[in-house]
């Protein structure tokens, strides 16, 4: 291989590699979009689920918790909270039982004083999230 590496060869490798990876990216994007309806649980979105998501965002729950692996890692993962806490009643009881005063040396969850309708909406949102096919995420029940 006594031939020198020329600008033309480098240009061809660059353009060929760029075209290959752009086509690969487009193919994987198409495949992902095609798989979403089977995995995302969109048929179960209700007004209560939407209201729960609004409460989730307004109260910055993701500032401490993770949801399907996204968010802060201070508090437990909530993608499987519906199963872990025993359904809607368990979620509502857990939120309402949080201490108003912090545990010494540790931050605790704030007391939000949600109404019964707001608690139902948050529980419905977490039930909806638990129905999303996450390919077994989180890897353990504790999150």
Domain boundaries, the chain: 1-39, 43-143
CATH fold for domain 43-143: Cytochrome Bc1 Complex; Chain D, domain 2 (1.10.760)
Distance, in Å, from the CA atom of 51 to the CA atom of 40, rounded to the nearest integer, reads: 18
Contact of 132 with 41, CB cutoff 8 Å: yes
Instruction: Say yes or no to pLDDT of 101 above 70.
Output: no
In this prediction, residue 34 carries a pLDDT of 94
The answer for 105, left when phi > 0, alpha when psi is -120 to 50, beta otherwise, is left
Q: What does the pLDDT look like over 63-85, one tens digit per residue? A: 989 998 899 888 888 988 999 99
pLDDT at 2 over 80: no
3-state secondary structure of 64: coil
> Can you list the alpha helix ranges (DSSP code H) found in 1-106?
7-39, 47-58, 81-84, 88-96
| Phi, psi dihedrals of residue 129, rounded to the nearest 5° | -60, -35
- pTM for the predicted model, two decimal places: 0.76
Alpha-carbon distance of 125 to 132, in angstroms, equals: 11
Instruction: Output the 3-class SS for 11-27.
Output: HHHHHHHHHHHHHHHHH
**Over 90: is that where the pLDDT of 56 sits?**
yes
> Given a cut of 60, is residue 105 above it in pLDDT?
no
Which of the pair, 59 or 103, is modelled with greater confidence?
Answer: 59
Is residue 141 pLDDT above 80, yes or no?
Answer: no
CA distance 133 to 41: 8
For residue 39, is pLDDT > 90?
no
| Higher-confidence position of 90 and 136 | 90
Average pLDDT of the chain?
Answer: 88
Considering only residues 142 and 46, tell me which one the structure prediction assigns the higher pLDDT. Answer: 46
């Amino acid at each position: 291989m006594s031939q020198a590496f020329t600008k033309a060869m480098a240009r061809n490798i660059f353009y060929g590699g760029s075209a290959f990876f752009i086509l690969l990216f487009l193919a994987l994007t198409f495949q992902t979009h095609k798989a979403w309806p089977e995995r995302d649980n969109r048929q179960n979105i209700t007004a209560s689920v939407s209201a729960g998501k609004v409460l989730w965002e307004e109260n910055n729950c993701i500032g401490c918790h993770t949801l399907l692996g996204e968010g802060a890692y201070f508090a437990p993962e909530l993608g499987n909270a519906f199963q872990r806490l025993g359904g809607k009643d368990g979620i509502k009881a857990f939120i309402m039982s949080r201490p108003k005063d912090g545990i010494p040396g540790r931050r605790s969850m704030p007391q939000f004083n949600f109404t019964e309708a707001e608690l139902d909406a948050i529980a419905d949102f977490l039930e909806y999230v638990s129905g999303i096919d996450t390919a077994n995420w989180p890897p353990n029940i504790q999150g």
